[in-house]
Amino acid sequence: MILNYIKIAFRTLFKNKGYSFLNIFGLAIGITCASLIFLWVEDEVSFDSNFPKQDQVYYVPTHQEYDGEWRTFNSTPGPLAEAMKTEIPGIDKATPTKQADFLFTVGDHAINRSGRYVNADFIDIFSLNFIEGHKDQAFNTPEAIVITQETAEELFGKDTKVLGKTLRVNNKDNYQISGVIENLPKNITFPFNWIAPYERYTKGKEFTKEYGSFFADTFVALSPEAHFETVDAQVRNLLEQKTGESDSKAFLHAITDWHLRDKFENGKQVGGGILYVRLFTIIALIILLIACINFMNLSTARSEKRANEVGVRKAMGSGRSRLIFQFITEALILAFIATLVSILLLFLLLPQFNLIIAKDLVLGLSNPVHLLVLLGITLVCGVFAGLYPAFYLSSFKPVEVLKGLKVTQGSASFIRKGLVVGQFTISIVFIISTILVYQQIQHVKNRDLGYNKEQLISLNVNGNMIEKFDIIKQDLLKTGAITSVGLSNSELLSGGNNGSGLEWTGGTNTEDVLISFRYVNSDFLKTVGMELVEGRGFSENKEKDSSSVLITESFAKLMGTGSAIGKQVMRDDVYTVIGVVRDYQYGDMYGQSDPVLFHNYHEESSFMYLKTNPKIAPNEMLTLVEGVLKHHNPAFPFEYKFVDDTFNNKFKSEQLVGKLSQIFAILAILISCLGLFGLAAYTAEQRSKEIGVRKVLGASVSGIVRLLSKDFLKLVGLAIIIAIPIAWYSMHNWLQAYAYRIEINWWIFVIAGVVAILIALVTVSFQAIKAALANPVDSLKTE
């Protein structure tokens, strides 16, 4: 029996190549889309899942209160970890850590790798596996360093024993390799290539022992029997116990939440990447739904062709359930073929998709989970898409269809129209969303930042770049490729050193405003293109301005009315305001940045900014700059970033959403059009006799095209009406997450509507014109 069904399915398939193609191709696109999204989702949710202690490991961020609002920071005071471990029962392991970049030199081979200063508990918290050395002896000496296998191979080549070898770090310190650990998976939130003893970092740094400096990343592991709520409550009270102040609360952030639930608002967890994971999962399901709708539509549209078969089979004694079974089998076979096609598509598209999302996803068909999901999608699609046609087709009465009566299309055509409206509604929502996401990204990117990010490169300060700054600067300017050189302790675009508790003349309520501190040289403002609205910048003569500060406009506003020039700020020492800088944007590009205080002190700068001469080609400019730096700072490799690239990177997740919604909008429309195309073909075929009669009676070709297109356009029109409020509502909600956002313009809806109508028109009119041009004699003769 089943063989008989399969045979019939394949013969029907080949006999109606056009329909089969539309059906299979539509479904294959849907499955491909969904598979890509599910692969991405799998990667996202599997972050940090390779560490064995999934329900014991926690990161310790802090909520801090400023201006009545709780903000969340990824840093803790140095002594916190030890205090947690000794004073809170249930905390088994704890380590403060400090992230750092090391330049490793072996012979004349040098590589830059980031890693962490940690204490020995870190090894247990993340259950690191040692290939060389032993975890208990890894941190026996302060000179010890443990590196990953990858790093070891890059430094010493493959299959070399490296235990005990000496590593030169940053061209000044020596470390001894005390262990090699297995490579870490790519998808972890806190990646590292090496770990070294924490004491080596804290040596001679008094602030690391104080509760007032928040700088360390703290990781802890709870004992297996510990109760999370109890431990967390104690952690939240710990800082107050230590400092007597209640405006900072450390808390436990579970390893399973690190990647996708890392956003906090006013001390409450508000999600993070999980929102996009959910959003795209829903999109995947919607696209599958559209593809299934197509399938249903095309199958029921073709019902007349199958009606005869249904009648005969019923007359031969087939019950309804057997027919339902038969049609679902057919749908399943098509779904399986679609899956095979989509596997092929996945092989072709996955590399492109990886480029877009900057990941390394693999299809992994040998992975049983992947196979099961794919099989699941196939079965669900097949059964879901086949169910309605099966019930519809099997309901035909043999007497009617065998007599050659027209199958009454009432309910079926209503449902079919409903499905088309549904498809187009979804497509239009996608179109509108895509436009708005794009607009929002452009809007923020074109925001006046308060500085000029073009023609600007940043270098990490290392080696003797500070000691030799004056000569380096001179040589850079001499090349003609660079017009100005700035230094700063923090990155221009990021947050960084900040604090509160300043006092100033005439100041009130100074305690809880968060101020960012920047230590810059005199040319910094000029280099990055910040604008002085009042007063003057720092002079070249450092001594002269050692007790001068610059502030931003928002800071000036805090100091009260009247010119801020000449007012005094108390911060360890007394400083005089000599200039006011226009507010600029850093950190969260969508929000309002905190006020900034600039000091004229560049000795501890970490970043060097170079304004380039636009007349010199970038390649030449880079060669010239590299020459100067290699000359004065030969031990360190020349590494640079263009600030506008860094800026663009800040929009990665939004841009990802933008690109993906673009792709999915196009695919949703494509699938919907496949369906519409099939339906139009069917309608034209069904009405061929009517068209013939009309032509004989003198109807024009254009009149007939209009007649055939009109019905479909009505459906698309209805879809537009339904889609607009849905799109408006959901995009309005999305935009609320951004303080700096666009207004939703009415003309976007007009554009989306016009696009949808045009696409539908092109799809339908092809068939309509074909039908209208047909010779009426042919269509009338057939009866």
Percentages of the chain per state (helix, strand, coil), in multiples of 5: 50, 20, 30
Q: Which of residues 328 and 476 has its CB atom nearest to another protein in the complex?
A: 328
Q: Which of residues 145 and 333 has its CB atom nearest to another protein in the complex?
A: 333
When asked if residue 627 is in the footprint of another protein (CB under 8 A), the reply is no
Distance from C-alpha of 761 to C-alpha of 610, rounded to nearest angstrom = 54
Which amino acid would we find at residue 589?
M
**Least gap, CB of 408 to another protein (angstroms):** 14
When asked if residue 154 is in the footprint of another protein (CB under 8 A), the reply is no
When asked if residue 560 is in the footprint of another protein (CB under 8 A), the reply is no
Question: Which of 348, 375, 399, 754 touches another protein (CB under 8 A)?
Answer: 399
Contacting range for another protein; rule: CB under 8 A; set: 4-12, 61-69, 422-430, 433-441: 4-12
Which amino acid would we find at residue 555?
F
x-or-dash pattern for another protein, window 261-300, by CB under 8 A?
Answer: ----------------------------------------
Q: Which of residues 326 and 527 has its CB atom nearest to another protein in the complex?
A: 326
* CB hemisphere CA count around 553 (13 angstroms): 12
Long-range contacts: 8-12, Cβ < 8 Å, 24+? 8/326, 8/330, 9/329, 9/330, 9/333, 9/334, 10/333, 12/306, 12/330
Question: Which of 253, 314, 518, 599 touches another protein (CB under 8 A)?
Answer: 314
When asked if residue 405 is in the footprint of another protein (CB under 8 A), the reply is no
- Contact 388/328 with Cβ under 8 angstroms? no
**Least gap, CB of 353 to another protein (angstroms):** 39
Contacting range for another protein; rule: CB under 8 A; set: 308-316, 474-482, 554-562, 773-781: 308-316
Looking up tokens 């079974």 gives 325
- Contact 701/772 with Cβ under 8 angstroms? yes
When asked if residue 406 is in the footprint of another protein (CB under 8 A), the reply is no
Q: Which of residues 331 and 345 has its CB atom nearest to another protein in the complex?
A: 331
Looking up tokens 């939703």 gives 744
* DSSP letter (8 states) at residue 56: T
- Contact 104/90 with Cβ under 8 angstroms? no
When asked if residue 410 is in the footprint of another protein (CB under 8 A), the reply is no
How would you class 425 by CB atoms within 10 Å of its CB: exposed for 0-12, middle for 13-18, buried for 19 or more?
buried
**Least gap, CB of 20 to another protein (angstroms):** 13
When asked if residue 317 is in the footprint of another protein (CB under 8 A), the reply is yes
Distance from C-alpha of 659 to C-alpha of 356, rounded to nearest angstrom = 8
Contacting range for another protein; rule: CB under 8 A; set: 63-71, 245-253, 268-276, 306-314: 306-314
Question: Which of 322, 659, 689, 694 touches another protein (CB under 8 A)?
Answer: 322
**Least gap, CB of 394 to another protein (angstroms):** 13
Helix (H) or strand (E) holding 214: strand 214-222
Q: Which of residues 402 and 744 has its CB atom nearest to another protein in the complex?
A: 402
**Least gap, CB of 12 to another protein (angstroms):** 6
When asked if residue 309 is in the footprint of another protein (CB under 8 A), the reply is yes
Q: Which of residues 311 and 529 has its CB atom nearest to another protein in the complex?
A: 311
- Contact 589/454 with Cβ under 8 angstroms? no
Strand 173-181 with 144-148, pairing: parallel
Backbone dihedral angles phi then psi of residue 778, each to the nearest 5 degrees: -65, -45
When asked if residue 782 is in the footprint of another protein (CB under 8 A), the reply is no
- Contact 118/236 with Cβ under 8 angstroms? no
Q: Point out which residues pair with 489 in neighbouring strands.
A: none
**Least gap, CB of 396 to another protein (angstroms):** 12
Question: Which of 159, 206, 316, 782 touches another protein (CB under 8 A)?
Answer: 316
Distance from C-alpha of 610 to C-alpha of 556, rounded to nearest angstrom = 28
Q: Which of residues 8 and 41 has its CB atom nearest to another protein in the complex?
A: 8
When asked if residue 783 is in the footprint of another protein (CB under 8 A), the reply is no
Dump strand ranges (E) for 255-378: 263-265, 268-271
Q: Which of residues 245-264 bind another protein (CB under 8 A)?
A: none
Question: Which of 157, 212, 319, 614 touches another protein (CB under 8 A)?
Answer: 319
**Least gap, CB of 404 to another protein (angstroms):** 7
Contacting range for another protein; rule: CB under 8 A; set: 68-76, 257-265, 399-407, 746-754: 399-407
**Least gap, CB of 10 to another protein (angstroms):** 9
When asked if residue 447 is in the footprint of another protein (CB under 8 A), the reply is no
Q: Which residues contact 16 (CB under 8 A, 6 or more apart)?
A: 302, 305
**Region of 76 on the Ramachandran plot (φ > 0 left; ψ -120 to 50 alpha; else beta):** beta
Helix (H) or strand (E) holding 556: helix 553-558
Rounded alpha-carbon distances, angstroms, from residue 520 to 208, 402, 523, 606, 642: 24, 90, 8, 10, 19
Q: Which of residues 315 and 344 has its CB atom nearest to another protein in the complex?
A: 315
Contacting range for another protein; rule: CB under 8 A; set: 160-168, 305-313, 358-366, 740-748: 305-313
When asked if residue 404 is in the footprint of another protein (CB under 8 A), the reply is yes
x-or-dash pattern for another protein, window 369-398, by CB under 8 A?
Answer: ----------------------------xx
- Contact 716/768 with Cβ under 8 angstroms? no
Question: Which of 149, 243, 318, 547 touches another protein (CB under 8 A)?
Answer: 318
**Least gap, CB of 401 to another protein (angstroms):** 9
**Least gap, CB of 341 to another protein (angstroms):** 23
Q: Which of residues 143 and 309 has its CB atom nearest to another protein in the complex?
A: 309
**Least gap, CB of 304 to another protein (angstroms):** 13
Rounded alpha-carbon distances, angstroms, from residue 58 to 115, 225, 257, 296: 19, 15, 9, 49
Helix (H) or strand (E) holding 310: helix 303-315
Closest CA relative to residue 474, chosen from 602, 632, 622: 632
Q: How many residues interact with another protein (rule CB under 8 A)?
A: 25
Helix (H) or strand (E) holding 209: none
Vertex 220 angle, CA 218 and 515, to 5°: 25
**Least gap, CB of 685 to another protein (angstroms):** 17
When asked if residue 304 is in the footprint of another protein (CB under 8 A), the reply is no
When asked if residue 315 is in the footprint of another protein (CB under 8 A), the reply is yes
Gap between the terminal Cα atoms of the chain: 35
**Least gap, CB of 762 to another protein (angstroms):** 34
Contacting range for another protein; rule: CB under 8 A; set: 402-410, 436-444, 543-551, 578-586: 402-410
- Contact 483/613 with Cβ under 8 angstroms? yes
Q: Point out which residues pair with 596 in neighbouring strands.
A: 516
Query: What is the contact surface with another protein in residues (CB under 8 A)?
Result: 1, 4, 7-8, 11-12, 15, 308-309, 311-319, 322, 397-399, 402-404
